[in-house]
Amino acid sequence: MADKIFSKKEWGAALRAAADSYGIYVPVKEGDFHNFELLKKETKPDFDFQNTRLSPKALIQPQSERMFVYSLDDSEEGAHILKEDPKDYSPRAVVGIRPCDALAFQLVNVNFDNPEYRDPWWAGRLESTTTVGLGCNEPCTTCFCTSTGGGPFSEKGLDVLLYDLGEKILARPLTQKGGKFLEKAKGGSPADESDSKAAEQLALSAAEKITSSVPTEHLKEKGVNELFDAPFWDDVAFSCINCGTCTYLCPTCWCFDIQDEVLGKEGDRLRNWDSCMFPLFTYHGSGHNPRDQKFQRVRQRFMHKLKYYVDKYNNGVACVGCGRCVQHCPVNIDIREVCELMNGYG
Ligand code: SF4
Ligand code: SF4
pLDDT at 260 over 90: yes
171 lines ligand 1 (CB under 6 A): no
Note whether 305 and 335 are within 8 A (CB): yes
Model confidence at 120, pLDDT cuts 50, 70, 90, reads very high
pLDDT at 334 exceeding the cut of 90: yes
Compute the average pLDDT of residues 81-91. Answer: 97
pLDDT, one tens digit per residue, over 147-200 is 999 999 999 999 999 999 999 999 999 999 999 999 999 999 999 999 999 999
Atom of ligand 1 nearest to the CA of 325: 1
State yes or no: pLDDT of 143 exceeds 90.
yes
Closest of 203, 209, 49, 215 to residue 141, by C-alpha: 209
User: Does the Cβ of 241 fall within 6 Å of ligand 1?
Assistant: yes
pLDDT at 309 over 90: yes
Q: What is the mean pLDDT of residues 97-101?
A: 98
In the predicted model, what is the mean pLDDT of residues 50-60? 96
Tell me: the pLDDT tens digits for 110-119?
999 999 999 9
- Decide whether any atom of ligand 1 lies within 6 Å of the 246 Cβ: yes
> What pLDDT is recorded for position 304?
98
pLDDT at 344: 97
pLDDT for residue 1 is more than 80: no
Name every protein residue with a CB atom under 6 angstroms from any ligand 2 atom.
249-252, 305, 319-325, 335
Cα 306 from chain centre: 17
The answer to whether the CB of 238 is under 6 A from ligand 1 is: no
Kindly report, residue by residue over 74-84, the tens digit of the pLDDT.
Answer: 999 999 999 99
CA distance linking residue 111 with residue 318, whole number of Å? 11
What is the whole-number distance in angstroms between the Cα of residue 259 and the centre of ligand 1? 24
To the question of pTM greater than 0.85 for the whole model, the response is yes
* Residues sharing a CB contact under 8 Å with residue 265, sequence separation 6 or more, in sequence order: 71, 72, 73
Identify which of 233, 238, 239, 246 to mutate to test ligand 1's pocket (most ligand atoms within 8 A of the CB): 246
Residue % of the chain over a pLDDT of 90: 99
Alpha-carbon distance 66 to 208, whole Å? 44
Amino acid in the structure at residue 156: K
161 DSSP β-pair partners: 133, 172
Mean pLDDT in residue range 269-294: 97
The residue-averaged pLDDT of 64-88 equals 97
pLDDT of residue 196: 94
DSSP string across 78-141: TTT--EEPP-----EEEEEE-HHHHHHHHHHHHHHBSSS-B-HHHHHHHHTEEEEEE--SS--T
- 88-120 as b/e, with b when 16 or more CB fall inside 10 Å? eeebbbbbbbbbbbbbbbbbbbebbeeeeeebe
User: Which DSSP string do the residues of 228-281 spell out, in sequence order?
Assistant: HT-TTHHHHHTT-----HHHHH-TT---EEEEEEEETTEEEEEEEE--TTSGGG
Averaged confidence pLDDT in the chain: 97
Residue 332 has pLDDT above 90, yes or no: yes
Apex 259 CA angle, 281 and 104, nearest 5: 60
Whether the per-residue pLDDT at 271 is higher than 80: the answer is yes
